[in-house]
Amino acid sequence: MDTSNTASSPAARKPYGMLALFDSAPGIYEAARTVREAGYSRWDALTPFPVHGLDGAMGLGRSKVPVFVFIGGVIGFFVGMWLAWWMGYYNYPLIVGGKPYFSPIFPFPVAYELTILLAAFGALGGMFVCNRLPMHNHPVFNYEKFRHLTDDMFAVVIEAEDPLYDAEGTRTFLEELGPVEVTALYDDEEDDA
């Protein structure tokens, strides 16, 4: 049951944390709730699809992405309006079709589109920033059954830096949750990091 990745000798690498593998959504849901109640803070649940209610079970707050979206939208709107004003009224006023040099009506579509454009960039950018992606190298990838985590299996990972973490205690704690298996994960030390 206790397998650890033998890619490289255990002594040379820094332990990263302890992973418990589950094969059903209710299982991961219960496990997450108990880990949260156990007081762990530096831990995460890996699921192939967004499990409904898991956020509540892990006690996560609201995501920060809406802030980025709002900022992007506001900037977009004012950039759009300012463009039409600066170009049509301030820099080069031209009489076109008997319309005023500037009015908030005709540049509205442009401002509206820029609002959505920058808000969308805010959304995607915000998601990447909040998730600190792209992070192509991560210790959790060293787990040799990792391909199941994005297919049909679920996992709870408790990191070594967590104050409550200790090699044995956390392993036994995880085994009580009825996982398929529990494995220790090691971070492969890179000289230049």
Task: Looking at residues 88 to 147 of the shown chain, list those that interact with another protein (rule: CB under 8 A).
Answer: 88-101, 103, 106-107, 109-110, 112-114, 116-117, 119-121, 123-124, 126-128, 130-131, 133-138, 140-142, 144, 146-147
Contact with another protein (CB under 8 A): which of 71, 74, 75, 87?
Answer: 87
Q: Which amino acid is at 71?
A: I
Does 69 contact another protein by CB under 8 A? yes
- Three-class secondary structure of residue 145 per DSSP: coil
Contact (Cβ atoms closer than 8 angstroms) between residue 157 and residue 108: no
CB closer to another protein out of 89 and 164: 89
DSSP code of residue 51: -
Size of the site for another protein (CB under 8 A): 87
Does 62 contact another protein by CB under 8 A? yes
Does 172 contact another protein by CB under 8 A? no
- Three-class secondary structure of residue 83 per DSSP: helix
* Residue 156 C-beta: closest distance to another protein, Å: 10
Q: Which residues contact 51 (CB under 8 A, 6 or more apart)?
A: 25, 28, 29, 45, 154
Q: Which DSSP helix (H) or strand (E) runs through 122? A: helix 108-130
Q: Rounded to 5 degrees, what angle do the CA atoms 119, 121, 123 make?
A: 70
CB closer to another protein out of 142 and 183: 142
Q: Which DSSP helix (H) or strand (E) runs through 25? A: helix 25-38
CB closer to another protein out of 11 and 136: 136
Number of residues in the chain = 193
Does 185 contact another protein by CB under 8 A? no
Q: Which stretch binds another protein (CB under 8 A): 34-42, 60-68, 162-170, 174-182?
A: 60-68
Among 131, 180, 162, 139, which residue's Cα sits nearest to residue 39?
162
* Residue 114 C-beta: closest distance to another protein, Å: 7
Does 59 contact another protein by CB under 8 A? no
CB closer to another protein out of 18 and 46: 46
Q: Which DSSP helix (H) or strand (E) runs through 168? A: helix 167-175
* Residue 168 C-beta: closest distance to another protein, Å: 25
